[in-house]
A and B are shown apart, each in its own frame.
Chain A
Amino acid sequence: MRDLQKDFNLAFEAYNDELFRHASMRLKDRDRALELTQECFMKVFEYAQKGGEIREMRPFLYRTLRHLIIDEYRRKKPVSLEQMVEGQEDMSVEVLLPPDESNTLEAAIERFDGKLAMVALHELPDLYREVLSLRYVEGLSPGEIGGIVGESENAVSVRIHRGLKKLKEVLQNHES
């Protein structure tokens, strides 16, 4: 029990900001992001108290938060839900892209001001916002993101690549 308490406290101290940030980038509504972050911690802690197994706290928290965000979209934004599940992309082209293609896109996007990049990110479907946020803000690898979103590493890489392309387009539109 003592270890559990300690884990809870450490997890809260370690991850509250990044989970809140992630929720904020997904939901836009700061207050709602705060509520879901709190609910995420509560649910995970209650789950552990009931004897549930948590092998790795960080991915578990992210997965829980993800479910809460999906519920939020279902409840309030049915249209956006469609955007969220449009992920059955045709990967035939992207998987054949040269590996440095994403690097080129990253370099192109990095030319823009951070505030503008953030605005542009919010204009993307949540499907892409989610993986781009996890990849470029929280620094997770495609494999780690795959564990959170329930997709293969390859599928995540493709989604990141598509997201970068869309983000670049939005930024260029803003610029023009």
Chain B
Amino acid sequence: MNLNNLKHEAEKIRLTTAEKSAMRARIFPTLQPGPRPQSVGVGSPYVFMSYNLRMSLAGLLLFVLAGTGTVSAAQGALPGDLLYPVKVSINEKVEVALAPTTAAKAEVQVRLAERRVDEARELSVRGRLDEKTAKILTDDFDEHSAQALALVEPDEQDEPEVKNAQVQTMMTISIAPPEADSSSTTPEREKPSVKKSGKNRSEIRESLREKGELLKEIKIRSQRQEIKDGGGEGIEIKIELQIDR
């Protein structure tokens, strides 16, 4: 198949961002479930509305910012970095919005929760994990965990053996402050990850609980390090993991 000259020329015909946005706004309000017959299990119409708005806004913002490279540059940002809000507010919301299935959305949410733990670890290594940042990361972790669990079906039966076996495979996130001993480090290949498919609710919950514990441990070690380095006062650490157990 040829005619690349025609194809390239035709591909210049596109909706502008404003046109696309306006079209979305006109199309999706018509989808509000009104008196029309609906299938069983219809949820609140406002849930639908918010989903579309969220996706529309996220897509629009991503489109606008992608051209400048800001979004891609933000991907590796850490809390406290200039681009971190872009990463959290745009990149990650788009990731969730574009996940094709509910299971995929749950996986994204788990991945984002894990990312908070990775960020905490990274900040801890760099000596930048202060109490405020730790609180933000913990809250965000809890939020993603709750979202992930809300998106997966409750298990029919609990299978402790399987669950425990799964937990055993999860790595321990190492906290590696500069002085930390080498035994605490973990090979890169053992980084936590969620399988592309097949995790049930109890596995996800257990996995997230593990991650929550690791986050807690990172915070505690970081605080200890801070006290040790600065000789400062002890800081009371409050961690409230709100994972649905």
A interface majority secondary structure: helix
Q: Could you say which of B7, B39, B55 contacts A51, with CB atoms under 8 Å apart? A: B39
A118 touches B27 (CB 8 A): no
A12 touches B51 (CB 8 A): no
The total number of A-B Cβ pairs within 8 Å is: 114
Q: Could you say which of B30, B37, B100 contacts A10, with CB atoms under 8 Å apart? A: B100
B1 touches A114 (CB 8 A): no
B15 touches A17 (CB 8 A): yes
List residues of chain A with CB within 8 A of the CB of B19: 34
B1-54 CB contacts (< 8 Å) to partner A? 1-11, 13-15, 19-20, 23-24, 26-28, 30-31, 33, 36-39, 41-43, 48, 51-52
A49 touches B7 (CB 8 A): no
A40-57 CB contacts (< 8 Å) to partner B? 41-42, 45-46, 49-51
Q: How far is the CB of A3 from chain B (nearest CB, A)?
A: 8
Interface residue tally on B, bucketed by range? 35 or more
Using CB atoms, name the residue of chain B closest to A111. B5
In the complex, what distance in Å separates the CA atom of A37 from the CA atom of B51? Answer: 22
B5 touches A42 (CB 8 A): no
In the complex, what distance in Å separates the CA atom of A132 from the CA atom of B2? Answer: 11
List residues of chain A with CB within 8 A of the CB of B5: 109-110, 112-114, 117
A118 touches B9 (CB 8 A): yes
List residues of chain A with CB within 8 A of the CB of B28: 8
B31 touches A49 (CB 8 A): yes
A20 touching B36 in the complex, CB below 8 Å, given contacts A9-B51, A114-B6: no
Using CB atoms, name the residue of chain B closest to A24. B13
A136 touching B7 in the complex, CB below 8 Å, given contacts A6-B100, A51-B39, A103-B2: yes
Using CB atoms, name the residue of chain A closest to B5. A114
B30 touches A45 (CB 8 A): yes
B51 touches A25 (CB 8 A): no
Interface residues of A (CB under 8 A from B): 1-2, 4-6, 8-10, 12-13, 16-17, 20-21, 24-25, 34, 37-38, 41-42, 45-46, 49-51, 103, 106-107, 109-110, 112-115, 117-118, 121, 132-133, 135-137, 139
A sample of 7 cross-chain residue pairs with beta-carbon separation below 8 angstroms, ordered by A number, consists of A38-B23, A103-B2, A106-B3, A110-B3, A117-B9, A135-B1, A136-B1
A-B interface, 7 closest residue pairs, ranked by CB to CB distance from nearest? A114-B9, A114-B5, A106-B2, A136-B3, A137-B10, A117-B6, A21-B13
